[in-house]
């Protein structure tokens, strides 16, 4: 998809995965969607949040993007979640994240892989609807 000046514009779904990956890489938690500096559970979009679970990081990025650019198109969100679903075989991202053997590096790795395998939905449609 081309943006202004002929540069390639990153899809919203890929950006969701990449930015969620950055949050988890900076500071990861389990047992809550997000935690503040004291370890207390907070909403993922709360300004006091300093660490995020996999699900919390996705929600935090979605909320931030919605406040800046508006709601993410459903097909972009679906494509991002599809990429994750190919890698995380579970019915619950929270349960997967919170597994006692799970590590921060494993969560970051899954997000890296999801970014790499992400396929934008209906490329022709996305370019014409913007």
pLDDT tens per residue, range 29-45: 999 999 999 999 999 99
Residues 6+ apart with CB under 8 A from 73: 12, 126, 129
For the chain, first and last CA: distance in Å? 10
pLDDT tens per residue, range 110-119: 999 999 999 9
Query: Could you give the number of structural domains in the chain?
Result: 1
Full-model pTM = 0.86
What is the average pLDDT across 59-80? 92
Least confident of 15-29, 59-73, 88-102, 111-125: 111-125
In terms of residue numbers, what domain contains 65? 4-129
């Amino acid at each position: 998809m081309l943006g202004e000046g002929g540069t390639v514009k990153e899809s919203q779904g890929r950006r969701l995965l990449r930015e969620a990956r950055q949050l988890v890489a900076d500071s990861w938690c389990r047992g809550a969607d997000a935690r503040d500096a004291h370890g207390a559970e907070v909403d993922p979009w709360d300004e006091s949040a300093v660490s995020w679970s996999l699900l919390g990081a996705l929600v935090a990025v979605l909320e931030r993007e919605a406040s800046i650019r508006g709601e993410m198109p459903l097909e972009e969100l679906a494509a991002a979640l599809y990429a994750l679903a190919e890698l995380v075989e579970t019915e619950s991202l929270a349960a997967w994240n919170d597994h006692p053997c799970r590590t921060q590096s494993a969560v970051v790795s899954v997000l890296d892989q999801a970014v790499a395998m992400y396929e934008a939905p209906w490329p022709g449609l996305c370019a014409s609807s913007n």
